[in-house]
A = this chain, B = another copy of it.
Amino acid sequence: MKQNSQPPLRLLLDSLCQGNRKSISRIITILESDKNDHKALTIELLAALRQKQPRQAIRLGVTGTPGVGKSTFIESLGMHLVSRDLKVAVLAVDPTSHTSGGSILGDKTRMHNLSREASAYIRSSPTGKQHGGITNRTAEAAFICEQAGFDVIIIETTGTGQTDFNVADTVDIFVLLIAPEGGDELQGIKRGIMEVADLILVNKADGPLESSAKKTAAEYEAALRLLQKRIQDPPNFPKINLISAQLEVGIGQAWKDIQNLVQWRKANGIWDLVRNEQEILRFRKELHNQFVQLMSQDKNLAKLQLESEERIRKGLEEPLMAAQQIMQSLNRKSIGHDLDN
């Protein structure tokens, strides 16, 4: 393994486990890198940390459509936690836009107060390419923050469908923020997200919007009752509460609900069950990832793929048949190349 300009692995890990911010950022940068030596280093880092009796924090997903007040809520909750001597990391999953590659977030002045706290750490990460087969490393970044001593890892996502479900597969508790508004949108994207939410918070429940927020909460209560009970839900969950992130109303209650949920799940064996299933999912996604790498790095397979694509572009070959033929040749013969060259 090439070390390049990286410090020796052991020093980097020791420094991480002491909570050194530069080490956290450096390691997350390595995780997110596409370079081959960084990919190898990532696996080595994660495997080494696993030897050390890894710590667990609470991983909290926060989602909601743009404008619902996610940043304000996260800042408000984060300040509440910091005031209780808890260390908070915020990982914002930033979906790069589909065609231009541009970024939706990027406003570094969001969460102004929280970003100035010594016991808070905030970082934005890209979700990676849609079709390039490159998975994001949000789960791994959360694991790194756990080893650096943070107590709560908040993972923020921007309500764009698939990204939300990916984040739901990465966190212990998933919070859905909704705005006070009419009820006939209780379908589609919200329906799907509702089914993975543990806590639904109707934000902006203050001033003129308060009665509208109450009505919205009642509508969502009714909708929740239609959903099948999940094994991971204690009696009163998924729960719906009113908050005002701006006025810091309901934030303490939300944190109590989160703590109660964590305790119940730990006491009932659900916590470990969910975490273990998430690890299995990481494994399966990584298999996909490595398959894409194999196809591009093995010279024979890359050549076969290129030739097929040329014929497909000319309309000479059915894509499904071409794929079947390549998989058969992968399956039948020894490839004779090493993956990690």
* Number of interface residues, chain A, beta carbon within 8 A: 83
Query: Does A86 count as interface, using CB distance less than 8 angstroms?
Result: no
Please tell me if A225 contacts chain B, counting CB pairs below 8 Å: no
Tell me the nearest residue of chain B to A189, going by C-beta: B160
Query: A258-296: which residues lie under 8 A (CB-CB) from chain B?
Result: 276, 279-284, 286-295
Please tell me if the beta carbons of B43 and A321 are within 8 angstroms of each other in the complex: yes
Cβ < 8 Å to B, chain A residues 139-163:
140, 158-163
How far, in whole Å, are A196 and B104 apart by their CA atoms in the complex? 16
Is residue A331 contacting chain B, with contact meaning CB distance below 8 A? Answer: yes
Given contacts A46-B320, A95-B192, contact A163 B165 (CB under 8 A): no
Instruction: Decide if A192 touches B287 in the complex (CB within 8 Å).
Output: no
Q: Is A188 an interface residue (CB 8 A)?
A: yes
Partner of A318, one of B47, B99, B164: B47
Contact call A327/B339, Cβ cutoff below 8 A: yes
C-alpha gap A191/B103 in the complex (Å): 11
> Can you tell how many copies of this chain the complex includes?
2
A187 partner, pick from B66, B279, B288, B308, beta carbons under 8 A:
B66
B321 x A331 contact (CB < 8 A): no
Q: How far is the CA of A248 from the CA of B37 in the complex (A)?
A: 60
CB distance from A243 to the nearest CB of B (A): 20
Q: Is residue A83 within 8 Å, beta carbon to beta carbon, of the partner chain?
A: no
Q: In the assembly, what is the distance between CA of A233 and CA of B49, in Å?
A: 51
Bound complex: CA A160 to CA B140 (Å): 26
Q: Is A109 an interface residue (CB 8 A)?
A: no
Flag whether A130 is at the interface (Cβ < 8 A): yes
**A196–B99 contact, CB under 8 A?**
yes
Instruction: Report Cα–Cα, A331/B293, bound state, in Å.
Output: 11
Q: What's the dominant secondary structure at chain A's contact region?
A: helix
Inter-chain CA distance A34–B231, complex, in Å, is 28
Asked if A286 and B189 make an inter-chain contact with CB atoms under 8 angstroms apart, the answer reads no
The verdict on A50 contacting chain B, using a C-beta distance below 8 Å, is yes
Contact yes or no, A192 B309, CB < 8 A: no
A66 pairs with B312, CB closer than 8 A: no
Q: How far is the CA of A312 from the CA of B278 in the complex (A)?
A: 10
> Does A298 sit within 8 A of B, measured CB to CB?
yes
A4 at the interface (CB under 8 A from B): no
Q: Which residues of B contact A158 (CB under 8 A)?
A: 187-188
Q: Find chain B residues with CB under 8 A from A230 CB.
A: 99
A333 at the interface (CB under 8 A from B): yes
Given contacts A158-B188, A289-B323, 20 further A-B contacts (CB under 8 A): A42-B320, A43-B318, A46-B321, A47-B318, A50-B318, A65-B185, A66-B187, A98-B196, A100-B227, A133-B288, A140-B320, A160-B161, A160-B192, A279-B312, A283-B320, A286-B324, A290-B327, A291-B327, A294-B331, A334-B334
Of the A-B pairs whose beta carbons lie under 8 Å apart in the complex, a sample of 7, sorted by A's number, is A130-B165, A161-B189, A162-B162, A279-B313, A286-B320, A287-B305, A327-B339
Q: Which residues does A use to contact B, with CB under 8 Å?
A: 42-43, 46-47, 50, 65-67, 95, 97-100, 104, 130-131, 133, 140, 158-165, 184-185, 187-189, 191-192, 195-196, 227-228, 230, 276, 279-284, 286-295, 298, 305, 308-309, 312-313, 315, 317-324, 326-328, 330-335, 337-340
